[in-house]
Structure formats: structure tokens, C-alpha cells
Structure 1
Amino acid sequence: MTNGYPFLEKNFLISRPDRIGDVVLSTHLPVNIKAHFPESKVYMLLREYTRDIYVNNPYVDGIIIFDQKEGIFSLASKFRDLRITHALMLLPNERINYALALAGVKYRIGSGFKPFHLITNVKSVYRRGYDRELNEGQYCSDMLRKLGIPVNSEQSVIYLSDEEKKEVIKIRKELLGDCRTLTGVHYSSGGSAPNMPPEEYLLLAEHLKKMSSTKVVFTDNVSSDKIKEAGFTFINENLPLRKSILNFAALDFLVSASTGTMHIAGALGVKTIGLFCPLPACKPSLWGTLGNKARYILPDESYCSRRCPGDPKKCDFAGEGGIDHVRVSNVLREELLS
């Protein structure tokens, strides 16, 4: 018996077929598993477009791509071939749940209460009843604790190879020019969070451009003609995620709404300035970055009672007490001078 389990082989599957920010907030799990079970194997089950977040992670033994069309029996066969013994289902998924049960995975931990968890006798971690505010990444940690695995670190980390680190140095040198700091501005959010309109981000960039000490670049994958015409560069335009990750790693600061982009930058140690809504489902205590230096900008307390549209995704922070380029610029100026 080792560490409370009556068998030597321990092969973990962490299932997170989710969006970028959610996946980044799970990156601390493998290192904690390996710290407790050094001889174990850890596999990630991810969507294709998020796999680059875990590339070069020294604590992950393999990445399985989740195909939305793949059948239960095919998935179960993969899990059996890998001899999975423990599964953490960070995002409830009925097909994955049944495939794990069919594969004979003994220790299965799920998130929340779902009827298919009950049918397959999954142990669940519940979020209701908490009297303290936890980040999404910290909720993920509770699954490890459910298995008796101590959590020593909850810092999000994206790992770079030695060659990639050299490339980051080269990228930073080329982008910086004669400036001392490199600031990324990310104007889009994919409709996933409240956000300033693109025009405010352009005003922010023009305001920052007047500060000779910092170089401003945009980090969106899709560019804006209006912003381009103003003379700003989109360093990640049409690039694959891993290439974009290297560009993010070259930054000193990133300004953005609460998006996956913010979490990528935070996991690379970049200082982030995030625009947030105070509603319970959107607030920074739940969706902020873990491990880096971060500043969060929220509207004034009275703003939401006066201007809230009822749907956070429709909020543009406009009006008195909201968030605009001047307010964001003042926060970034404080950081640059500190």
C-alpha cells in the first residue's frame, strides 16, 4: 500500500474540454499529483484548440484530444489502454462520464451534482454552501483533496522549452526597440465578459503611446482595421496559440477584459490589468489569475445599480462610474512608475 492506495499503479486523467481560461486555471493540478505520487502518470483530456496550454508541461505524460463526435466505446477503449485509475472531471460531460465508468476507472471525481454522476456512482465536489470566496482554480484543487492529495501550489503555469525561452528573448528585443517596457492591449473578449468598446482601447493605446518609456502592441488574434490605421501592430494576428503564447511571454503588462488571454499572460508571469464586473458569477475573486501580479478594475459600487443591463456580456462599462481609457491608463501608469 502506498499513500493510502492498495495498488502501485496510479494513472490520472484530468478532463477539461473547456475554454482557454478554464484550462489555464487547471495547470497546477499535475504538479501537485506528481509531488504526492512521483511514479504516477498524468494525462490531460482537452479540446484541440487548448492543447498548446499543456505542451512542454513536465508533469504531464500525454494529451488526449476530445472529439465531440467520438463515441463512448471508443473513449472507453482509450482510457483502458492508458490504464487510467483516477479521473478528475473538472467540467461535467455525460459522454466522458459513461466512458470512464465503462473503462472500469475506480476513482472518479466530478464537479457539482449531475444525474449521470449519481447513476455511475461518481464522487462529487459541490460548490454550494461555501462560506468563503474561491477562485475557479481553487475549486479544482478540491478534487485533489477529495482523493487525499495535498495541494501545495495553486499557481497557474504555462511551461516553455529552452528553445522557446530563447525565442521569447528575441521577440521581446525586436518589439521593444528603444522602450523600457512592453505593454499588450487586448480589445476583444469573444462576448464572454463585460468589456469596453474597441474605441476605448484605441484611445487607451494612443494615450499610452505618448509615454516614451513603453511600447504598445495589440495581442488579439483578429485585427481591427481602425486600430491598424492608427499605427498599432497586432503581434498575434492569425497565429496558432503556441506562437501567440511566446508573444505574450515577451510582455511586461497586459490590459484586457476577463478572458482566456488574461489567464495565459498570468500563467507566464506577465503583470495583468483586468477589467471585471462585480456580479457573483463574474467577479475577480472567482475568475482572477492565480500566481502573477494582477490589478483588477471594477466599476464604482453605484454603477451597476444604475446601469446594469442584466446580462454581463452586454455591459460596456460606459457612463459615469464605469471604466474608460483614462481610468485604465491611470492604473497602468501607477504600475509603470512603481
Structure 2
Amino acid sequence: MNVHNIIISRTDSIGDVVLTLPLAGIIKEHYPNCKLYFLGKTYTEAVIKLSKHVDEFLNWDKIQQSENPVNEFKKLRADTIIHVFPNKQIAQMAKQAQIPNRIGTLGRFFHITTCNKKVKFSRKKSDLHEAQLNTKLLQPIGVSHDFSLNGLIEHYGLITSEPLSEELGRLVDKTKFNLILHPKSKGSAKEWGLNNFSELIKILPKEKFKIFVSGTKEEADLINNQLPFEQENVVSLLGKLTLQEYISFINETDGLIAASTGPLHIAAALGKVAIGLYSPKKPIHPGRWQPLGKKASALVYDENCEKCKKGNDCDCISKISANTIVDLLMKNNLT
């Protein structure tokens, strides 16, 4: 198959996009001279541009607003589009733009009429990690390798993010372990609970840790009165950073603790200590969504939780003890 200009399409959230970046590295390994586009939303642009394997970011928000979106696809002269995140509108436009190889999962009804290279697999029923499932979509372009999680980590190809501003740089204490806590998830994941984060802050040795609490401006009102910001080693970053600034800040710190969120996956991909707090319930369990990185790990309270096994609502994630996290940090000689 002739593959020269490829579009990876993933127009959903940050964590999903991070776990799709290894695809770019794998494609470049097999087709080093191809031009690789990544179609995403404005919101995830800074994340996508971290990959040295992505030649050009395509802004889906801007394409939608253009006078002739189909023509925007035609201009690219793409020969292949990989619909990692199924989007009916994009699939229809790719067909109208006459992109020769249109790859998608067989399970989406609209792919039957819009994709001519269909791959059969079920994300919901699979025991594979999300990043491994993504690689199945490379089969039509001749890549059928079964990738280990460690193998996928090697394909991130992240380049150093933009340098941190002097003002933010001064917050980092080089004599301590700089730890980011990201307590909320905007409803995208089961959360550990603010009371648990509060306890963790209180029991982490103040002489060894500088703690930063991150989140959106909207989350600030929920968090501000719940955590011990009066401690001298705790700094609030709530609502103060752009995504690009946040990425640069993560890159200058040592670790991050969060539920299954975008920042957790960013930290893992950047090689930071990334501790994810998870429910064992499928399909949100760490087997599918654990952070991928050389210093990444995932915790659950009870991987055999009966409620979670039955698919019932369960808050067992809140039972993960703060001491377990401290022990994990100490065990890895991170302090």
C-alpha cells in the first residue's frame, strides 16, 4: 500500500489523545518519509504538538467553521485517514474528499458506508489497554504487531515542551520533591475524594515535599475550602494555568497524583512519577486506562471488588488509603 500523507483523527479529550500519540511514532517507524497529520480540537493542540512524530496539527474546530470543510481535507492530498475516535461528520467528509484509504472500526454503523478499510474489534469487550487497541487500526496499512505497554511508551516521541515562565519556575523547589495533586476530573472519572487528598497533604513530610494543587477555575470553588492551603508547603494553581503552561509546569516537577485524567497521562508520558487512582470496574479499570510511562503506576483498593465486578455503582476508590500512596513514594526512593 502506498502511504504518503496520513491523518490520525482523534477529536476527544486530553487523556485519549495522549494515549493515541504512540500511533504517530509507530507510523513514522514504518513509513519514515510520510507526512503525518493529527486532527484534534483546539483544546488538545498543545498536547498533540508535544510529539516529534506529528508533522502538522489540524484544528477540527476551525475546519468545521470554514466555508468548505470538505475542501480543507482535499487540500491535504491525504491518502489515508485513521478514525481512532469515531466521528460521523469527519467520516462523511473524508469520504466526500475522496481520501483513498479510510480506516475505522467495523462496530460503528456509519463506518459501513464511510470507511473502506474496516477493522473488527470491540473496545468494550477487550482486555487490552486503550493504547494497544488503537494500534489495531494500523492493520490495513501493514502494521499488525502486538505491542507491549513498554513498547508503546518508547513510541511517544515527546519533545521538550515550551520553557516555563520565570514566575512559575520560581515556585519549583529544587531541594524537595515537587508533587502535583489533581483532585478533580470534570466528571470524566471516578474520584478519590477531597477528604483523602487533604489527609495525604497532611501526612506527607513537609521538609521533603512541595505540593501543588491543580484544577480548573470552575473546580476552584469546590476545592478551595476543602484542602489545607494554609500549610506553607502547599501552593494553589487552581484556574491559573493554560494547558501549555500546565504541561511545562508538569515537566519541571517530579510527580503527579490524580484519578484517570488527562494530566495524569501527560505526566506519565513526560516520564514523571504518575500515580493513578482507579476503580477496578470495567471499562474504566486500569487495565484499559492506566497511565503509560516509565515511572507510572495505578492503584485500586480491591481489584476483586464484587460490586465493581457486577457493574454496580461503587465508591471503593475512596478506600485507597493516603498511607498507601506515601508508601509507594517512599518505596521507589522518590523522596
Task: Name the TM-score class by shorter chain.
Answer: 0.7 to 0.9
- The CA deviation at 1:200 is 1.3
- The CA deviation at 1:168 is 8.4
- The CA deviation at 1:177 is 5.0
> Structure 1 residues 236 and 147 mapped into 2: Cα distance closer, same or farther (>3 Å)?
farther
1:268 partnered with 2:264 = no
Residue type at the aligned position of 1:198: L
Task: Give the distance between the partners of 1:244 and 1:300, measured in 2 at CA.
Answer: 32
Tell me the matched-pair count: 323
Task: Give the distance between the partners of 1:22 and 1:129, measured in 2 at CA.
Answer: 13
Quote the residue 2:96 is aligned against. 102
Task: Give the distance between the partners of 2:237 and 2:85, measured in 1 at CA.
Answer: 32
Q: 2:235 aligns with which of 216, 233, 242?
A: 233
Q: Is the 8 A contact 1:185 1:205 kept in 2?
A: no
1:217-296 to structure 2, matched below 5 A, reads 217-222=212-217, 223=220, 224-226=223-225, 227=227, 229-231=229-231, 232-235=234-237, 237-296=239-298
Query: 1:157 is paired with a residue of what secondary structure?
Result: coil
Residue type at the aligned position of 1:294: A
Quote the residue 1:189 is aligned against. 185
1:83 partnered with 2:70 = no
Cα deviation digits, residues 310-329 of structure 1 (max 9, x gap)? 346xx3634xxx21323322
Query: 1:21 is paired with a residue of what secondary structure?
Result: helix
Residue type at the aligned position of 2:4: K
Residue type at the aligned position of 1:154: L
Quote the residue 2:173 is aligned against. 176
- The CA deviation at 1:220 is 2.2
1:8-47 to structure 2, matched below 5 A, reads 10-47=4-41
What TM-score do you get using the length of structure 1 for normalisation? 0.84
Worse-matched range after superposition: 197-206 or 217-226: 217-226
- The CA deviation at 1:281 is 0.2
Residue type at the aligned position of 2:215: D
Q: Is the 8 A contact 1:252 1:271 kept in 2?
A: yes
Q: 1:200 aligns with which of 193, 196, 201?
A: 196
Task: Give the distance between the partners of 1:46 and 1:28, measured in 2 at CA.
Answer: 15
Q: 1:213 aligns with which of 208, 212, 218?
A: 208
| Cα RMSD, aligned residues only | 3.1
Residue type at the aligned position of 1:243: E
Quote the residue 1:48 is aligned against. 42
Task: Give the distance between the partners of 1:131 and 1:307, measured in 2 at CA.
Answer: 14
Residue type at the aligned position of 2:203: H
1:136 partnered with 2:164 = no
Q: Any runs of at least 4 consecutive aligned residues in structure 1 with deviations exceeding 6 A, and if so which?
A: 129-132, 306-309
Worse-matched range after superposition: 196-205 or 98-107: 196-205
Task: Give the distance between the partners of 1:275 and 1:247, measured in 2 at CA.
Answer: 21
- The CA deviation at 1:38 is 2.1
- The CA deviation at 1:160 is 3.7
> Structure 1 residues 37 and 333 mapped into 2: Cα distance closer, same or farther (>3 Å)?
same
Q: Percent identity, aligned pairs only?
A: 26
Quote the residue 1:327 is aligned against. 324
Residue type at the aligned position of 1:159: L
Task: Give the distance between the partners of 1:316 and 1:331, measured in 2 at CA.
Answer: 19
Cα deviation digits, residues 37-86 of structure 1 (max 9, x gap)? 22211111101101110225332221111129927983321111010110
- The CA deviation at 1:121 is 4.2
Residue type at the aligned position of 1:329: V
Cα deviation digits, residues 180-235 of structure 1 (max 9, x gap)? x2111111111222212112101101111x25222222232343322364332123
Q: Is the 8 A contact 2:7 2:38 kept in 1?
A: yes
Task: Give the distance between the partners of 2:124 and 2:195, measured in 1 at CA.
Answer: 40
Q: Is the 8 A contact 1:168 1:250 kept in 2?
A: no
- The CA deviation at 1:131 is 9.0
What TM-score do you get using the length of structure 2 for normalisation? 0.85
Residue type at the aligned position of 1:133: D
- The CA deviation at 1:334 is 2.0
Structure 1: gaps spanning 5 or more residues: none
Task: Give the distance between the partners of 1:251 and 1:267, measured in 2 at CA.
Answer: 13
> Structure 1 residues 189 and 295 mapped into 2: Cα distance closer, same or farther (>3 Å)?
same
Task: Give the distance between the partners of 2:333 and 2:23, measured in 1 at CA.
Answer: 33
Worse-matched range after superposition: 242-251 or 139-148: 139-148
Task: Give the distance between the partners of 1:72 and 1:184, measured in 2 at CA.
Answer: 39
Worse-matched range after superposition: 291-300 or 135-144: 291-300
